[in-house]
Amino acid sequence: MTSKLEQLKRFTTIVADTGDVDAIASLQPIDATTNPSLLLKAAALPRYTGQLASARAGSQGDPAKACDLFAVAVGKEILELIPGRISTEVDARLSFDGQATFERALRLIDLYQSQGVGKERVLIKIAATWEGIGAAQRLEREGIQTNLTLLFSFTQAVACAQAGVFLISPFVGRIYDWYKQHEGKEYAPEEDPGVRSVKRIYDYYKAHAYGTVVMGASFRNSGQIEALAGCDRLTISPQLLASLESENGTLERRLRPGAGSEPLIDLDEKNFRWGLNEDAMATEKLAEGIRQFARDQEKLEALLGA
């Protein structure tokens, strides 16, 4: 019998959630995604010493540019190992500045193009704030496709679809963490609040023929992944990919188009902000995620400035 990972690949495009080139070479995903936390981990690996030095040398003393240069260097190396795309994240400290997010995204694309990598192989990752979604809409109109991250609520997902973004990354594990802490209990995969959130978004998108890709992210266990078999894409850590590759039980498709019945929603800024405000989990996890990525960005800047 084939492994669960191979069975999952029949229903879902697999994306590696890592900046570790060796892991990507071993697991052979279609796409890969990075973020400031993963880049900080990659920077500690001996194999990236040369990329760190090049980023410092090319930054003219600008630590933010050094981070972008390092992110692009890692992304370019990953792209040599995968047939698809790399997701590269805009500085989380710009999450509430749409114009600055737009401009930083353009710089990342320019840096990739200077390395011979076309924009068709890059997804720009942006936090799913109102400002971030607006910047993503502008980028999509310029032919630059985006990945909206730190997505915890149905409200964020509706706004992303309305804006015509290419892909969203709802964070299954972090939703699970919040409910586990606040409710004080474990959840079976089918009842997991993170799993249920992604399923609701998937069903809504398919029911209303939105082209935005749903890519579940931030998994805590393989049961969450198996419960979302059939989702457009899933971005999975090397540890969980290896776990799925080692298991040989039957894996069935769980998500299919045609299950949704929610009416179409039209969101403006006021209703977006209110809907997000009314979701305590999403409000807390979005703010926490932005802070975490911002702190790791600052640590990476300090490392590159050393």
Query: In the chain, helix, strand, coil percent, each to 5?
Result: 60, 10, 30
pLDDT at 9: 96
CA distance linking residue 129 with residue 151, whole number of Å: 9
Inform me whether the pLDDT recorded for 149 exceeds 80.
yes
Inform me whether the pLDDT recorded for 1 exceeds 80.
no
Asked whether 27 and 245 are in contact (CB, 8 A), the reply is: yes
Average pLDDT over residues 34-52: 93
pLDDT at 27: 83
CA distance linking residue 177 with residue 90, whole number of Å: 25
Residues 4, 65, 76, 125: which is the catalytic one? 125
The percentage of the chain sitting over the pLDDT mark of 90, rounded to a whole number, equals: 94
pLDDT at 21: 86
User: For 48-64, how does the pLDDT look when each residue is reduced to its tens digit (9 = 90+)?
Assistant: 999 999 999 999 999 99
Average pLDDT over residues 251-274: 95
Inform me whether the pLDDT recorded for 306 exceeds 80.
no
Domains defined along the chain, listed by start: 4-305 (3.20.20.70)
299 is a catalytic site residue: no
- Structure-token pair, residue 71: 């992110």
SS3 (DSSP) at 95: coil
